[in-house]
Chains A and B, each alone.
Chain A
């Protein structure tokens, strides 16, 4: 259906960059998520792709064709917003049919396509209802159906689930992904919710401060974040980050605790610090295991039951709290001293000065 290419695309408001020069290729049939906190430039990027916002520089190609200066309506792209803009005086059916009728499509074709798309979204039963009488989830289904009915070359979605409550969001998240798998329409999806991005995206573009921080699959941004921002932003809670001083194979943490780095890492860390320097140790909560003979001492700060598992919050001294995921049966009183170890395959290191991940020469 469509590829989308951004070549050095940027947006400035006065002297301020809303989006710094950015390169991205969205492959045909791919679901790409633009993820970041509010103000990071993700929505501006989406609006530039749609044509609602003019670029300050760079080029946008749709199927290899330069559309940078084409009007939104000429781009064959459908836009789904967070706030469903439905016509309140029309039924769901009339709302969905509207874009086709506006194109002058024959009545028979309109009827067929509306039925097709409403079957796909399992909403046949609400077709004759007006938006005002529909639930939030059904209203968003109508909005989606109205975008889908045109069979555009690509979809742009701006936080389409943002206004729904948690339950519905989960259901609709799966539905949109299901729909994407059935239709294989090229999709660019904007969200600030990292769980949504992980669950839905083939690839995720993590943005912050008007700049792309990393482009990668969910597994890549989770296990190999490019920098501290991505490490913190992805995951709930984010990656544990513990500062220390690295001296020849050993990381000295706060209050005399030490961590012997996995052997495979030593050459890369020696090179990065010239044998002696500050580093940040990073690991996911599931990489830490509490045990009596373990290496790193800590005290229990709080414990949380999350239903299927328990999260231990451990204090390492000098105000560093780390999170360790453990079984739901684990119970510890606050202020209990414990020790923990790290799965050597799951530790990462960052340069505190540049905040970038240190790339290992040999993967542990």
Chain B
């Protein structure tokens, strides 16, 4: 496989700048995820790498060699789309074998047999090989689509929201399969999604894209623990991060109209007013907690419970293990994990580190 580099890519559609100076490096064997909302420029980035769109500025390099002038077919990539594009009248085997049988490749029959069998085993679709694809379920079809992409070993796999059309349980299962597959094959993969859970759970590194610009690139831990902006902080994590306007008073920080008052952790320099981010798992109801609130709502999810804690005029979301005994209207003492506070200036840029 290859490493892929984007250098200062700009792409405009008439007056709209779809990509604005986008640069990143996908390392050989890396699972790289582009995360962003609809319209952020994720798919355009993918299409520029594939050669389906020509950038207005900047370079795309495969193994340090510019491929700007290469036609899509000459870039040696494999695509998996959100919509399965299988041949309905062919069997699963023939669909999987199709890329290997292309006149350009002329793969020997025994090699096709071996490779298709191997891929089918990896994707747990061996029992479907003789079936026509029209008769498969959505999850099975998407497995076959992925199989058809990985049956070849191109320089890079480009995956455009391949799990979006599947139901929650299938998505979960395929997420695990894709990750296992990618790690054991060591393939270079660019995976595009708007789903933060897909990004966090599968990626070696994530690039967060917003309005055509890269906001942050980092490992899932970097992105979750050190979001560069409030946009990133709010994009990852379920339930969403608590984000409140706070003020600095001597050595403490205070959220106006709430009971939240905390010592400023040593070494943190903060502006007078700023935005305070607290992840729900860092708001901890505990009998010894120094902060007081009231239970506004509880949402039992089974493995954990989301507790909405009213603190003055604000609601803080807290997530606790198991099913809580707390009832709506109960007074609740809570603490906040100080080492994990996030602080941003009023423009939303991370400060205080």
Question: Measuring CB to CB, which residues of chain A are less than 8 angstroms from any residue of chain B?
Answer: 37, 166-167, 170, 173-174, 177-178, 181, 192-195, 198-200, 218-219, 222-223, 232-238, 284-286, 301-302, 304-308, 311, 313, 319, 321, 325, 334-335
Contact = CB atoms under 8 A, between A and B. Distances in A.
Contacts of A37: 167
A37 B195 CA distance: 22
B200 interface: yes
A349 B212 CA distance: 52
Contacts of A200: 299
B18 to A, nearest CB: 21
A133 to B, nearest CB: 19
Given A302-B176, A307-B237, A334-B183, A222 B302 contact: yes
A304 B319 contact: no
Name which of B201, B221, B280 has the most chain A CB atoms within 10 A of its CB: B201
Given A170-B240, A174-B299, A304 B201 contact: yes
A146 B265 CA distance: 49
Contacts of B167: 37, 192
A170 B183 contact: no
B197 interface: yes
A340 to B, nearest CB: 17
A178 B296 CA distance: 8
16 contacts: A173-B299, A174-B299, A178-B297, A223-B302, A233-B169, A238-B169, A301-B176, A302-B183, A304-B176, A304-B179, A306-B201, A307-B224, A307-B238, A308-B237, A313-B176, A334-B180
Contacts of B281: 307-308
Nearest to B219: A305
B308 interface: yes
Contact of B321 (A170, A178, A286, A335): A286
A177 B200 contact: no
Contacts of B220: 305
Interface in B201-221: 201-202, 220-221
Given A170-B240, A286-B321, A325-B303, A301 B168 contact: no
Given A198-B301, A307-B200, A334-B183, 14 more contacts: A37-B167, A193-B168, A195-B301, A198-B299, A218-B300, A222-B323, A235-B302, A302-B180, A304-B200, A306-B200, A306-B201, A308-B237, A308-B281, A313-B180
A210 to B, nearest CB: 19
B306 interface: yes
B175 interface: yes
Interface residues of B, number: 41
Interface string B231-274: 00000111110000000000000000000000000000000000
A282 B336 CA distance: 35
B179 A302 contact: yes
Q: 7 nearest interchain CB pairs?
A: A304-B201, A199-B299, A222-B302, A308-B281, A302-B179, A218-B300, A305-B220
B184 interface: yes
Contacts of A313: 176, 180
Contacts of A321: 176
A181 B329 CA distance: 11
B172 interface: yes
B166 to A, nearest CB: 13
Interface in B154-213: 167-169, 172-173, 175-176, 179-180, 183-184, 195, 197, 200-202
A307 B236 contact: yes
A301 B323 CA distance: 29
Contacts of B148: none
A308 B279 contact: yes
B316 to A, nearest CB: 13
B328 A174 contact: no
A195 B306 CA distance: 11
Nearest to A170: B239
Contacts of B184: 334-335
Contact of B328 (A173, A181, A233): A181
A307 B169 CA distance: 19
B12 interface: no
Contacts of A308: 237, 279-281, 319
A86 to B, nearest CB: 23
B124 interface: yes
Contact of B302 (A167, A173, A234, A319): A234
Contact of A237 (B124, B172, B236, B301): B172
Name which of A177, A222, A302 has the most chain B CB atoms within 10 A of its CB: A302
A284 B175 CA distance: 19
Given A304-B201, A305-B221, A307-B224, A167 B240 contact: yes
Contacts of A301: 176, 180
A341 to B, nearest CB: 18
A155 B296 CA distance: 22
Given A304-B200, A306-B197, A199 B180 contact: no
B297 A286 contact: no
Name which of A198, A222, A307 has the most chain B CB atoms within 10 A of its CB: A307
Nearest to A219: B323
Interface in B312-333: 319, 321, 323, 328
Contact of A285 (B180, B303, B319): B303
Contacts of B169: 232-233, 236-238
